[in-house]
Amino acid sequence: MERPAWAPQGIDLTVPSVSRIYDFYLGGSHNFEVDREAARKAMEFMPGLPKIMQANRAFMRRAVRFAVDEGITQFLDIGSGIPTFGNVHEVAQAADPEARVAYVDHDPVAVAHSRAVLAGNDRAGIAAADLRKPQDILGDPVVNELIDLERPVALLLVAVLHFVEDSDDPRAAVAALRDALAPGSLVILTHASYAGIPLPEQRIGGTVGVYQNIKNPLVMRSHEEVARFFEGYEMVEPGLVPMAEWRPETPLAQEDPYAFSGFAGVGRKA
């Protein structure tokens, strides 16, 4: 197949990528047939997957605006993926032109594409690093140039922790990042769960199996397990809730049932 200009050299175009699959669900154009095939396979079991991704993005935008309203102007977005319309820097800088955003991802496609999108924006940048190695993130020159850890930061862990298996100790990584943040910082987090998805668990298992097959296991966690990522933070109202229920801007009755899948929450470091 032909390599499009935006695809970095050295990327294996025959292997599906989680960030390109996500891009496809959101209606983006930075994905290949191999990604679309995996996405369609996952959607055979869960046709509402694009709706879940849209609800996830809508929550992220509400939470970013909330952070700016709280006076926070620096954002550290880990597992940021391919920047599609309405990304963190667009939302934050529309609310406050001074806002700074450091994106972090370990997918070379996401990193390369982010560099292209962010060229010329001196208040936003991308670091190639992995959530499982928080010290690499905290020591990255791009992060250090954009983010002053002495001042409050909004840390985004949106739709990323469910790709980290328990054996990689995601809670230790989240705690290390929390410990590096100044008091008054926020964590903005979403996580996949069987809870709230309007399908039997067995059906959802088919989708989980697709991610297993592409070597990106999807780890479904319960409300209680997700809540433990907020240790050391005080929950912001309304707490850890289905994504559509976090400070909605439109009547919930209008929401698609899939928008209530998984959990979303914001915590404040005391």
- Give yes or no for residue 175 having a pLDDT over 70: yes
Does residue 102 belong to any structural domain of this protein?
A: yes
Q: What mean pLDDT comes out for the span 171-190?
A: 98
Does residue 9 belong to any structural domain of this protein?
A: no
pLDDT, tens digit (0-9, with 9 covering 90-100), for 16-44: 999 999 999 999 988 999 999 999 999 99
Give residue 265's domain range: 18-269
Quote the number of domains for the chain.
Answer: 1
What sign results for the dihedral spanned by CA atoms 249, 252, 253, 254?
A: positive
Return the structure tokens found at 200: 């039997």
Does residue 188 belong to any structural domain of this protein?
A: yes
Does residue 90 belong to any structural domain of this protein?
A: yes
Binned at pLDDT 50, 70 and 90, residue 1 comes out as: low
Does residue 4 belong to any structural domain of this protein?
A: no
Does residue 1 belong to any structural domain of this protein?
A: no
**Domain containing residue 26: CATH number:** 3.40.50.150
pLDDT, tens digit (0-9, with 9 covering 90-100), for 206-227: 999 999 999 889 999 999 999 9
Cβ neighbours of residue 195 closer than 8 Å, sequence gap 6 or more: 222, 223, 242, 261, 262, 263
- Give yes or no for residue 7 having a pLDDT over 80: no
Does residue 252 belong to any structural domain of this protein?
A: yes
What's the whole-model pTM score? 0.95
Does residue 205 belong to any structural domain of this protein?
A: yes
